[in-house]
Amino acid sequence: MKYLFSSRPAILAALASVLVAPSALAETSVQFGTGFEYASGEFGATEDTTIYEVPFTVRLKTGNWTFRAKVPLAAIDGPGGVVPGDDNGGERDNSGPGGGGDDDDDDGDGDPTTFAGIDEVGLADVTLSGTYTFNLTDNAYLDTTAKATLPTGDEEKDLGTGETDFAFLAELGTDTDAGGVYVQGGYKQRGGATREDGALALVGGYARLSDGILVGADVSWAEAVVAGGEDLSSATAYTSFRLTDTIRLSLFAEKGLSDASADLAAGVGITWRTNFRRPFERR
């Protein structure tokens, strides 16, 4: 599987061409969002790392296509070797300057290598994605997504991995006036000499309690970021409220189910949007 996605420039070019070529005749809507997120835990190490994040997001929907960009500002405080990101603080390549990872390396003198503490603020890794939705029935859908995480965060400050990652996802779900369920599976190609590619999975559901109020929960899993490490897994509860016809407030709380995940994560978000088919998103 390491060589399945051998041409990164070609993938980026294909994604870029899709971003600029939606049908001019399709109905188009836009969403802007921001918020505040917090995550804390050992992330497979021996000391806690705390991550604060302010994400800025924009989403464009035209016809069956949806395109999304996430630009996060992050603050990280910990022993080093953990970065913000979709891997719930996934380790970066520990062969680079500053090192990291969830195992102590030996520097040849018989003592474990230690890393200076990290207390940094700045731009983290930017994520771009494109999704095509197949409307299977009036209430059932299949989403296929290609996602790229770009190395915009400073690797030496543990604000980014220093690598470009790609993920390919498929989500099958239902969406009705009462609520819905969804299951997602995919594969992530992680850049770097020590970071491992791996499968991803998620399953969840949500209910609309009344007009404008939604609650839901899901459980996620991902293969370990480094060889010999523990798989990532977490459970998340979320809700959203319609403040006006175009503005929604959302909240989420997440509990790690493995030592490699954050012990606890939580966040609040606010979005301005026009009419999207499935009006919920916890991040």
Q: What is the pLDDT of residue 227?
A: 86
Contact assessment for residue 44 and residue 13, using Cβ atoms and an 8 Å cutoff: no
Predicted TM-score of the model (pTM): 0.79
Separation of alpha carbons 246 and 97, rounded Å: 45
pLDDT tens track, the chain, 283 positions: 433 434 444 444 444 444 444 444 468 899 999 999 999 998 878 889 999 999 999 999 999 999 999 999 999 998 888 888 866 444 444 333 233 333 333 333 433 333 457 889 999 999 999 999 999 999 999 999 999 999 999 999 999 999 999 999 999 999 999 999 999 999 999 998 889 999 999 999 999 998 789 999 999 999 999 888 899 999 999 999 999 989 999 999 999 999 999 999 999 999 998 765 454 444 3
Residues 6+ apart with CB under 8 A from 137: none
In DSSP terms, which residues pair with 265 in a beta bridge? 39, 254
Looking up tokens 């939606």, which residue turns up? 22
What is the set of domains in the chain, with CATH numbers? 8-21+36-103+114-273 (2.40.160.40)
Q: Within 13 Å of residue 140, how many CA atoms lie on the same side as its CB?
A: 4
Tokens describing residue 111:
């003592």
In DSSP terms, which residues pair with 134 in a beta bridge? 142
What is the torsion angle, in degrees rounded to the nearest 10, for the CA atoms of residue 187, residue 191, residue 192 and residue 198? 0
